[in-house]
Amino acid sequence: MLLHGFPEAAFVWDEVMQRLGPQTACVAPNLRGYAGSSAPADVASYRARLLLADIAAAIEAVGAPLDVLVAHDWGGALAWALAAQRPELIRQLLIINSPHPAAFLRELRANPTQQAASAYMNFLCRLDAEALLAARGHARLWPFFGAAAWLTPVMRRQFEDSWRGGLTGPLNYYRASPLRPASGPGDALHTLVLPDDAVTVRVPTTVLWGEQDRALLPGLLDGLERWVPALHIERVPQGSHWIVHEQPALVADRIERLLPAA
């Protein structure tokens, strides 16, 4: 199972799944709130326990345990939490440029560089964020991808179709989460506690990390063994946050290596 992030949808896994098709069955759901899925408008419907229940139910529907759960960005946030809380559902975890919650909390509190890199999260929580992002042909969304050679006309149409399906659900992930840069002394980030036993992932985990990620910096990998004892980290020096698009063959190969022998 492959879980996407923001501002994407399940279609971003198409090329990876085509490469894996001869080896294994794959499923890539559209997450709650995204076009093609249920999309309640209220922020409370995007609390972590509800999002995790969605993924757990999907896994149980296709047959647990999964051989590999693959997840990027917000999909990775869900996968980290699910692996900690429901390890019986997953045999192997592959995380792609998505920070472990405890490492993210540490960096958001103590690392000014990561705070600045994550400042966009507070913009996405604004009440007018949907309108601002949709204006002028989604002009504020395209820069998320940088100078992306992989952003073909066909891919652009897929993104546009997804965004026209609604942005409130995707933005509600940010609004419902306390893990974003503090905007004042009363911010929830200052008092948030993530006990080690609640966030420790004992599922064997591979982290594939594009080191050119402008929003999620490599310092998020420091000390990760504290919460992920069975950990393998592979750094991709020339990969960005969008490594799934940049190097689909690499991503497919790393998934294939985690599959059980035939």
User: What is the second-level CATH architecture of the domain 2-258?
Assistant: 3-Layer(aba) Sandwich (3.40)
Q: Read off the pLDDT of each residue in 214-241 and give the average, rounded to a whole number.
A: 98
Q: Is pTM, for the whole model, over 0.95?
A: yes
Look at residues 120, 105, 126 and name the one whose alpha carbon lies nearest to residue 191: 105
Contact call for residues 236 and 249 (beta carbons, < 8 A): no
Q: What is the pLDDT of residues 156-169, one digit of tens each?
A: 999 999 999 999 99
Q: Read off the pLDDT of each residue in 2-12 and give the average, rounded to a whole number.
A: 97
Q: Is 190 exposed, middle or buried (0-12, 13-18, 19+ CB in 10 A)?
A: exposed
Cα–Cα dist 72/129, whole Å: 23
Domain segments of the chain: what residues?
Answer: 2-258
Q: Is 256 exposed, middle or buried (0-12, 13-18, 19+ CB in 10 A)?
A: middle
Q: What is the pLDDT of residues 141-199, one digit of tens each?
A: 999 999 899 999 999 999 999 999 999 999 999 999 999 999 888 899 999 999 999 99
**pLDDT for res 22:** 82
Cα–Cα dist 92/255, whole Å: 10
Q: What are phi and psi of 72, to 5 degrees?
A: -130, 145
Q: CA 219 → CA 73, 113, 214, 224, 259, distances in Å?
A: 16, 10, 12, 10, 29
Cα–Cα dist 115/108, whole Å: 5
Q: What is the pLDDT of residues 84-114, one digit of tens each?
A: 999 999 999 999 999 999 999 999 999 999 9
E strand intervals along 9-147 = 69-72, 93-96
